[in-house]
Amino acid sequence: MANILKGKKIVLGITGSIAAYKACYIIRGLIKRGAEVQVVITPAGKEFITPITLSALTSKSVISEFFAQRDGTWNSHVDLGLWADAMLIAPATASTIGKMANGVADNMLITTYLSAKAPAVVAPAMDLDMYAHPSTQKNLDTLRSYGNHIIEPATGELASHLVGKGRMEEPENIICHLEMYFAVKEGDLGVKTVMITAGPTYEKIDPVRFIGIYSSG
């Protein structure tokens, strides 16, 4: 596959999960492939990973609040949503998934999601019972019905030391999912003209002559 992510603008949403540390590997992988990454982190997400670390990796200021505390600069969720070629929420907690599904726009990440024209890719991360709960599954189904792409979590040991489904997929697999999305969207059929025929084909040269091919059937 060609370097399909080169030049792509990705908004990476980080929420309050222990899996937030994996966002560093996602950022490095995306940038290595030529993508431009803008991090939007929830207040709870900052409890698990510092904006300084994320800013150092992206070479961009990390966005968390509607207004910058230092000078009052307004962070426009509308402009950010229009800028992005794709929005990746990884890790996505049960709380954030619920807010996305029900339009609870109480932080910068959710307002950006609601404003975005680009597709959203969601990588859930939570304990196995939270993931299996009917409300979580209903919210995920709602997001799918909106056209969002859900990356199923893996099965393994969780932060609770229980073993089950709920562990965020590995960064490399998440990046591969993004690559596949753009490959399908911008694939060969999107740039080539294809003619489908049934039976022999005749192309007129003038009123008397023609070029023909036999049927392949």
How large is the C-alpha radius of gyration of the chain?
22
Residue type, 201: T
Summary count for the chain: helices (H), strands (E): 8, 9
DSSP state of 55: H
Query: Is 0.95 topped by the overall pTM?
Result: no
Residues forming beta bridges with residue 155, ordered by sequence position: 165
Question: Do the beta carbons of residue 88 and residue 26 sit within 8 Å?
Answer: yes
- The structural domains of the chain, ordered by start, are 9-191 (3.40.50.1950)
Q: What is the pLDDT of residue 142?
A: 97
Asked whether residue 170 carries a pLDDT value surpassing 90, the answer given is: yes
Question: Do the beta carbons of residue 44 and residue 15 sit within 8 Å?
Answer: yes
**Average pLDDT in the 96-116 region?**
95
Q: What is the pLDDT of residues 36-54, one digit of tens each?
A: 999 999 999 999 999 999 9
- Which of the two residues, 211 and 74, has the higher pLDDT score? 74
